[in-house]
Structures are given as structure tokens and as C-alpha cells.
Amino acid sequence: MSDQIKIRAQIQGEITDLRILMQHPMETGQRKDEKGQTLPMHFIQTFSVLHNGKLLIDGQLNTSVSKNPLFTFKARGIKSGDKISVNWTDNNGAKRQDEIAIA
């Protein structure tokens, strides 16, 4: 399994800033290794962000996104004690899900 998804939330009044770092190699299928062999495509295809189990963000990615993508979002209605869950699935079928409780 891959490294943990890092989720940070900062509440500022009614608005919460969410920062999500997904650890993933995000290979385009165009780079070559030291032997000149093309590295196979390996990238996050879909991801979602849930707030207390309800879908907040549903996204699709492709090979144009860099290694270890960082996303930032603003959301309303998030308060201390709420749960934010992030999950992704890559083109090889690997999956990752992590969750935090807002402090």
C-alpha cells in the first residue's frame, strides 16, 4: 500500500481551508529508466473527499498531474470534530483511503 494521504484543515470562520497531499509516483508512460526502457503509466485516476461520510469533492486525474499531487480546497460548514475522508484509485487498481477528525 502507498504512503498515507496527508490531510490538513484550517477553520477560519465559516470557511475551512483543506490541503490534501496524495503520495503517488504519477508516471506518464513517456519517461525512460536508466536502461532506456519506457516506464509504464501509473497515475491516480479518481479521488474523492468526504465530509462526515457525504461526498464533498469527486475528481478525475490523468497523466498530466505531477508526482505527489497537492490539492487545496475551500469549504463551508466544516466544524471541529467533523471527519474528512480522502480516497483515491489508480490506473493499476491500487487504492488508498485516509481520514482525519477536525481539531
- Write down the domain spans for the chain: 6-101
Secondary structure of residue 33 in the 3-state scheme: coil
Per residue in 41-68, pLDDT (tens digit) is 999 999 999 999 999 999 999 988 999 9
Mean pLDDT for 10-33 is 96
Whole-prediction pTM: 0.91
Half-sphere exposure of 62 (CA within 13 A, CB side): 1
pLDDT score for 2: 75
List the beta bridge partners of residue 90.
44
pLDDT score for 1: 54
55 sits in which H/E element: strand 54-60
Question: How would CATH label the architecture of 6-101?
Answer: Sandwich (2.60)
